């Protein structure tokens, strides 16, 4: 994967950065840390400029986020409610009221979530889907996405430039950060799911 990323950037420059970051938003396992830090290093050995690289990466991030936002608009809350109210949903002890609770939570924290999740691996891509599902206005979505991803891109590209030939060390540290966050999010999701199921089963048993 790393060799492919480096080859694309070496061959296509800014366009390569744009395309790779767009795809990274749609498929989070692709490491943006490598794309951005190597782009920073590339500004020291080629004609690539740091701010043009930042703009290319930011445009790619915004395009990927908009695509996921549109997917969220297609899913919408009504379809999720029907899924939760189906036989499968009932078997999993899901209730369509949960959809509205989630929508209410996102409606309360939508702008903060869109901005701050841009610094969190996996979440920085997935957060665009509930934004679309909740019909969040596209203008603030694009604005907050642009600002958040711009800061993230500046940080990693600049670190890659400062590190020079040792850019890979920076990428490995950021990769460790990403893995740590993913593990924390995974554990949090498992604990929340356990508490959710436990509560539902307890309520059902009590009502018998």
SS3 for 72? helix
- The total domain count for the chain is 1
SS (H, E, C) 108-153: HHHHHHHHHHHHCCCHHHHCHHHHHHCCCCHHHHHHHHHHHHHHHH
Say what the pTM is.
0.74
**Is 60 exceeded by the pLDDT of residue 201?**
no
Q: Assess contact for 33 and 178: CB atoms under 8 A.
A: yes
Q: How far apart are CA 186 and CA 17, in angstroms?
A: 29
Confidence tier at 118 by pLDDT (50, 70, 90): confident
pLDDT of residue 157: 92
**Is 90 exceeded by the pLDDT of residue 89?**
no
**Is 90 exceeded by the pLDDT of residue 25?**
no
Q: Assess contact for 44 and 167: CB atoms under 8 A.
A: no
Which two tokens mark 133? 């599902």
DSSP 31: -
Side-chain half-sphere exposure of 31, counting CA atoms within 13 A = 24
Q: Domain containing 76: what range?
A: 2-207
Give the residue with greater pLDDT, 7 vs 18. Answer: 18
**Is 60 exceeded by the pLDDT of residue 24?**
yes
């Amino acid at each position: 994967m790393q060799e492919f990323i480096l080859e694309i950037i070496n061959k296509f420059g800014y366009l390569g950065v744009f395309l790779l970051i767009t795809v990274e938003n749609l498929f989070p396992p692709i490491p943006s840390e490598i794309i951005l830090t190597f782009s920073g290093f590339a500004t020291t050995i080629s004609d690539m400029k740091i701010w043009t690289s930042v703009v290319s990466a930011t445009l790619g991030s915004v395009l990927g986020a908009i695509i996921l936002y549109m997917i969220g608009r297609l899913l919408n809350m009504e379809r999720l409610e029907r899924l939760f109210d189906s036989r499968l949903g009932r078997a999993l002890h899901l209730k369509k009221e949960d959809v509205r609770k989630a929508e209410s939570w996102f409606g309360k924290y939508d702008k903060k979530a869109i901005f701050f999740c841009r610094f969190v691996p996996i979440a920085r891509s997935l957060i665009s889907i509930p934004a679309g599902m909740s019909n969040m206005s596209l203008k603030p979505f694009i604005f907050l996405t642009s600002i958040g991803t711009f800061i993230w891109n500046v940080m990693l590209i600049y670190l890659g430039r400062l590190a020079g030939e040792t850019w890979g060390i920076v990428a490995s540290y950021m990769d460790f950060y990403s893995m740590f966050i993913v593990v924390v999010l995974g554990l949090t999701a498992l604990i929340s799911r356990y508490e959710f199921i436990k509560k539902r089963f307890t309520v059902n048993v009590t009502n018998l």
